[in-house]
Structure 1
Amino acid sequence: MSAPVSAPDRSAPNRSLTEAATGDPLDRLRLVHVVRQYKPSVGGLEDFVASLVARQKDRFARVTIVTCDRVFRGGTRERLPAREVIDGVEVIRLPWHGSTRYPVTPGVFRAIAEADLVHVHAIDFFFDALALAAPFHRKPLVATTHGGFFHSGTAGGLKTVWFNTLTRLSATAYRGLACCSQSDYDRFAAIAPSKVRLIENGVDLAKLGDAGSKAPVKGIVTIGRLSHNKRIDRVLDALALLCRRDPDWRLDIVGTPFDWSAADVETMIAERGLTGKAQLHVGPDDTAMREIVGRSSLFASASVYEGFGLALIEAMSAGLVPVIEPNSAFIAFAQRHAGITLADFANAEQAAEALEAAHARLAAAPQALRQDAMAVARIYSWDGTAERYADFYREALGGATG
């Protein structure tokens, strides 16, 4: 089993593959990323693939993205163009049917016909179908886990059986599984010990870098799609207690509709008497995001499941002090990095007290705590992550399946 890597050194600059020694298998690589959702869909999975591809498009011979032809949530459900160039990369969109959790997309086999390496993102139809058909398409496969399919407790027993049967079988066809968090690594090591590698997500540090309020304010921001596992309702419960004690507290919620619509969240706000205290922002652009974060000092997340916690790192890059739910990914993160408060948001009183205490610490040493948060975020820059994926590809192309 490949040993897990904690807090990897990501400070080294990228090595240009065009300057690599002759014979590097990546020099002429035709790489295809397969992911169920991509732009214009908005979410952590989409952001991850876009950020990785931005650092690959000028390094490899060709990079292509294969995805589904409709936005699953929050869109018009209209079919998107079958082919489009986005940010200099070709995107191929395929018809699909069935569940958005497991979109059956038979056109994927033709779409990967010219690939030298196929990189599958997440554990879904694509992961299973490409694995089971591997003897026929004969393309080298790697995957990134992105939390698997354990983002909520829904159908937990069925998911466990599926994971230990079909997912275990599918994993045998992959030359490597990149796990984007320690919790993913531990889970997938149980079914594919020789395949797993820990490659934590990269973060675009420029997006929100140093954007948080320079002076301590009683402003909180929470970021993430409006899915049930994010438990926005519990953050609002904590805010309601805070506002009873001090009316200066404010919360900005940044997200895109998923399990909950914007109207659902607005109803939650109104039901708690928080109109004017909590504000929802649906899909703001980067400029608007910096403005929102600029009136906050704290980041809160009540998420009961995270594959990695991209929003947490982005928030820390802004200089925000985090108060977060002790899910497995966040616990592992807090064990490695000081300055992170874990609080059970199921207990609104405990969460409110933790937010008050974090603000008090920040008020006592504002610059030190902001700088500490930003220093942690710098460990997760995309430059180091992209190079680790290049090494992951070299290993996959140099090894055999099985």
Structure 2
Amino acid sequence: MAIVEADSVREKPRSETAPLIVHVVRQFLPNRGGLEDVVANLGRQTVRRGYRVRVVTLDSLFTAPEDKLPPRENIDGIEVVRIPWSGSSRYPLAPQVFRHIGDADLVHVHAIDIFFDALAWGRLLHGKPMIVTTHGGFFHTRKYAAIKKIWFRTLTRASAMAYRRVVCCSASDLRQFSEIVPDSLLIENGADIGKFADTASRRAKRRIVTIGRFSVNKRLDHLLNAIAALKTRHPEWHLDIVGAESDLNRANLEDEIESRNLTGRVTLHVSRDNDTIRRIIAEASLFASASEYEGFGLVALEAMSAGLLPVLNANDAFQTLAGRHPVIRLADFQNSGAAAAAIEAAYEGLAREPDAIRAGLLDAARGYSWDIVASRYIDLYRSLDIAVAESL
């Protein structure tokens, strides 16, 4: 069945002949993170529109590689297939991916990684139309920057030729990928604006939440330095760190907290469910991120949908968001004193105009609803299917 036909059965039950979109991504639920949330939300929206959706992913989480997950599972109508892998988490080998795309009408690859390269170079064998969403590429840190640039301009450029469209999820990605794929398309990520909707405290509090996987590039050390500076300004300041272990674990962060004498001022919440996170947000007024790199800034939008006022490190993605939404505050988290001053100023502004600022945050977040973003992807899927039909 042609992909274009599914749009006519929007919100209707899927049939066994409905077109099949296969998403390929290294990590998926139950892992939690921005990439996993994007694939899950896009999958759910696509299922609602009458498509069949499969996610092919690895059979264990990078944080617990020995704990194997079920090989098959159905999550919210999405067929999840988990395949074995070996090697490193940065470039895992998982050749069984080719077994699970043979019946696909379209393969949608997420991130610029080994799946992106392997499916590109294996295209002559599988022959499936493919698109890729960049999710920040592989420039999340400056480590090996020179090698990454060479790889990007050679191997990444060659692999990209196998894809019908390269979809960039942020303006910074579009600038980067347009250098090697001039017709790259911008479809910014959506945010699950219902997950924590309007949850934050309605009274301004000196309590901050940060949410995200515990990765080095999130620069939680810089954020903790800012909290250490804040505690000299007012005794009520408190930070809740919410996320899942990654290249940093609980012990690493506990050591960082203790070394700054922040015990009691910082609370660590590891792998908590959404109900628990809502309760944490309900006690807070601000969201902070010291991240040195973001593919898009999804978590900041989810924080805004909750009514949390963001104070964000001035990386490219966050600068783009702040340029569109002046309610967002930017800071230089490499300078702990300046970051602390920016956070204090954000709190004071919120205390003066709580209702107006909250309304601005909620209104800004609505524009990133997954219903809107998924419709853009559906339009892309349809246009690609027309192109496939005309080429046969």
Instruction: Name 1:59's counterpart in structure 2.
Output: 49
Q: Distance in 1 between matches of 2:39 and 2:274?
A: 17
Q: Secondary structure at the match of 1:207?
A: coil
Q: Distance in 1 between matches of 2:204 and 2:48?
A: 42
Q: Distance in 2 between matches of 1:41 and 1:61?
A: 24
The 8 Å contact of residues 6 and 19 in structure 2, kept in 1 or not, is answered as no
The answer to whether 1:100 aligns with 2:89 is yes
Q: 2:272 aligns with which of 268, 275, 284?
A: 284
Moved over 3 A (4+): none
Q: 2:167 aligns with which of 171, 178, 188?
A: 178
Sequence identity, in percent? 51
Q: 1:244 aligns with which of 232, 241, 265?
A: 232
The 8 Å contact of residues 66 and 91 in structure 1, kept in 2 or not, is answered as yes
Q: How many residue pairs were aligned?
A: 379
Q: 2:307 aligns with which of 309, 319, 327?
A: 319
The 8 Å contact of residues 31 and 60 in structure 1, kept in 2 or not, is answered as no
The 8 Å contact of residues 299 and 315 in structure 1, kept in 2 or not, is answered as yes
The 8 Å contact of residues 200 and 385 in structure 1, kept in 2 or not, is answered as yes
Length-normalised TM-score, structure 1:
0.91
Q: Secondary structure at the match of 1:244?
A: coil
The 8 Å contact of residues 175 and 399 in structure 1, kept in 2 or not, is answered as no
Paired residue type of 1:363: A
1:211 to partner: Cα distance = 0.7
Q: Distance in 2 between matches of 1:280 and 1:78?
A: 24
Q: Secondary structure at the match of 1:216?
A: coil
Aligned residue runs from structure 1 range 81-230, under 5 A: 81-194=70-183, 196-230=184-218
Instruction: Name 2:13's counterpart in structure 1.
Output: none
The answer to whether 1:338 aligns with 2:326 is yes
Q: Distance in 2 between matches of 1:16 and 1:124?
A: 30
Q: Secondary structure at the match of 2:68?
A: coil
Q: Distance in 1 between matches of 2:48 and 2:286?
A: 37
Q: Distance in 2 between matches of 1:71 and 1:340?
A: 33
1:210 to partner: Cα distance = 0.6
Q: Distance in 1 between matches of 2:356 and 2:254?
A: 36
The higher-RCO structure (CA 8 Å, 6+ apart) is 1
Q: Distance in 1 between matches of 2:325 and 2:33?
A: 25
Residue by residue over 1:272-306, the C-alpha shift from the partner in whole angstroms, topping out at 9 and shown as x without a partner, is: 11111100111211111111111111111000000
Paired residue type of 2:370: W
The 8 Å contact of residues 142 and 396 in structure 1, kept in 2 or not, is answered as no
Length-normalised TM-score, structure 2:
0.94
Aligned residue runs from structure 1 range 339-358, under 5 A: 339-358=327-346
Instruction: Name 1:296's counterpart in structure 2.
Output: 284
Unaligned runs of 5+ in 1: 1-14, 21-26
Q: Secondary structure at the match of 2:269?
A: strand
The 8 Å contact of residues 30 and 60 in structure 1, kept in 2 or not, is answered as no
| Worse overlay, 50-59 or 123-132 | 50-59
Residue by residue over 1:101-121, the C-alpha shift from the partner in whole angstroms, topping out at 9 and shown as x without a partner, is: 111111111111111100000
